[in-house]
Amino acid sequence: MDFDTDPTSLYSVKGIVILDQDGNRIIAKYFDKSVFGSVKEQKAFEKNLFSKTSRNSTSDIVLLDGVTCLYRSNVDLHFYVLGSSRENELILEALLTCLYDAISTVLRKQVEKKTLIDAMDTAMLIIDEICDEGIILETDSQAVVQRCNLKGDDISFSDQTFSQVGQTFIGAAREQLKWSLLK
């Protein structure tokens, strides 16, 4: 079954890529192995894609090698969503906006290379929550962030606000008191 010509197929993407200001790969997740088979082919495509899009600092749409590429850049990062030439651009735009907004929320509006690398595991989790094997699951950034949200105990004290730290200690004190009263 050819999903590019089947009108009943689910909305899908061929890949999600984040490059730095020099066109080097930060995160790349390709879902269509027929187009992006080897790492060498992927890197060649990324180089070509970056050379076509790096001049324009705003978001735009480019058709490159039969792949619809939507992109958005910020400071020193370039975000790309890749779809088939017949994919709905509005859906791809919604996915790109969801990806950018979710990462921006998690990075506390400091969307830069260093902070993204520091939170690489969360960024990969965001991509996994947005789509599964190329099938788009979610385009609401707040829903994605809530599903990716770590428990208060999992976040280091240096990354928590004073109220979060206080709530952690109050919760632990309540548990300790409850267990001591039950003895």
Q: Across the chain, what does the average pLDDT equal?
A: 81
Could you tell me the pTM of the whole model? Answer: 0.74
Cβ atoms of 26 and 113 closer than 8 Å: yes
The 10s digit of each residue's pLDDT in 78-134 is: 999 999 888 888 999 999 999 999 999 888 888 888 988 998 989 999 999 999 888
Ramachandran assignment for 8, one of left (phi > 0), alpha (psi -120 to 50 degrees), beta (any other): alpha
Please, which residues bridge with residue 27 across strands? Answer: 18
Tokens of 24: 């080097």
Residue 80 confidence (pLDDT): 93
* CATH of span 15-149: 3.30.450.60
For residue 16, pLDDT over 90 is answered with: yes
Domain boundaries, the chain: 15-149, 152-183
